Amino acid sequence: MIFDFDHPPDRRGSDSVKWGKYAGRDVLPMWVADMDFAAPPCVLDALHQRVDHGVLGCGSPPMSLAGAITEALERDHGWAINPDWLVWLPGLVSGLNIVCRAIGEPGDQVLTAVPIYPPFLSAPRYSQRRVTTVDLRRAESRWVWDFGRLDRAITPGSRLLMLCNPHNPVGRAFSRDELTSIAQIAERHDLVICSDEIHCGLVLDEEIRHIPIAMLGEAIAQRTITLMAPSKTWNIPGLGCAFAVVSNPKLRRQVLDAMHGIVPHANVLGYAATEAAYRDGEGWRRKLIEYLRVNADRVEQAIAGMPGLSTCRVEATYLAWIDARPLALRDPVRFFEDAGVGLSNGADFGSPGYLRLNFGCARSLLDLALQRMHDAVLARDVPT
């Protein structure tokens, strides 16, 4: 089947957060992690069918949904899970916040590495925990954890380590060795791991496979809460459906207890779409990956030709993390908005001077954005 990623629907004037931000301005929206593509036909068919039933009352996850997910995790990652380990969530950010409330006590320390998707920094604070960050290190063409620093940052009050794998924004899909080092540190210091794997279906590098950290062994599985969702891979974040995989019954109870009374169920359309995506969305996903690979190459090449900007190869996600510090701009986001390109601000991820570019869009739009960035960088008055 042919999927037309070159001609996505026009989102101007729709309910799109991404496009609404710059409504009425000639600024191409390359910011929030939301692709411009329509959902896969199998997902749209499932939604039509569900709507045609007509009744949209209170729903619970269909029996077949857990089966679709367990089969997909086994098929895609070789991860055999028990359907009883699943906890349904209305979104993954809710999951990050729930886990912060579920583990430890107010005042305890939560660790993560920056740059990082902003809710990793806000969720501990919203739960009266202290967040401690260690910097990821740029090692030539990729970002890596600094395990020594992580080890030294841990205190007796440390309870939770929040991992993002594949990583937003640096685009890494961490290797077995890297994950093993993280797991060893968690075991040595008795930390629970919250592993956000929402981007696991978006590994672009043909040499790399996503490894759920909970797959490393039984001991690590027992201390891990894995968060997943179909929303990034199949571009359905507007449907609000995610899940946690928690094999340890005590941890699972803690997660469920932290949800009581404040976390709504996922919605019935989200369930229908999620099942269709995991069961039948693989063909679309493969085509998407082919398309995104070419987009990633274009971004890499274009940025290499822009003096003062640099980026690393994106192994996974549709997000490029760009170092703009050498340009010494007072407001890098504003600079590129003035040039007609809307990017995410690195400061929100804990790294001022950086920018994040979303290339999950039609290639013609991406090329135009890259051209505008190129022209703006070259035309810039260099401070003397």
Ligand X SMILES: Cc1ncc(COP(=O)(O)O)c(C=O)c1O
Applying CB under 6 A, the residues found at the interface with ligand X are: 33, 91-93, 117, 164, 168, 196, 198, 229, 231, 237, 242
Q: Give the nearest distance from C-beta 199 to ligand X in angstroms.
A: 6
Q: Give the nearest distance from C-beta 16 to ligand X in angstroms.
A: 14
Of the pair 134, 239, the CB lying nearest ligand X is at: 239
Q: Give the nearest distance from C-beta 305 to ligand X in angstroms.
A: 28
Of the pair 91, 104, the CB lying nearest ligand X is at: 91
Q: Give the nearest distance from C-beta 169 to ligand X in angstroms.
A: 8
* Per-residue H/E/C for the chain: CCCCCCCCCCCCCCCCHHHHCCCCCCCEECCCCCCCCCCCHHHHHHHHHHHHHCCCCCCCCCHHHHHHHHHHHHHHHCCCCCHHHEEEECCHHHHHHHHHHHCCCCCCEEEEEECCCCHHHHHHHHCCCEEEEEECEEECCEEECCHHHHHHHCCCCEEEEEEECCCCCCCCCCCHHHHHHHHHHHHHCCCEEEEECCCCCCECCCCCCCCCHHHHCHHHHHCEEEEECCCCCCCCHHHCCEEEECCCHHHHHHHHHHHCCCCCCCCHHHHHHHHHHHHHCHHHHHHHHHHHHHHHHHHHHHHHCCCCCEECCCCECCEEEEECHHHCCCCHHHHHHHCCEECEEHHHHCCCCEEEEECCCCHHHHHHHHHHHHHHHHHCCCCC
Q: Give the nearest distance from C-beta 295 to ligand X in angstroms.
A: 17
Of the pair 33, 113, the CB lying nearest ligand X is at: 33
Of the pair 95, 340, the CB lying nearest ligand X is at: 95
Of the pair 196, 315, the CB lying nearest ligand X is at: 196
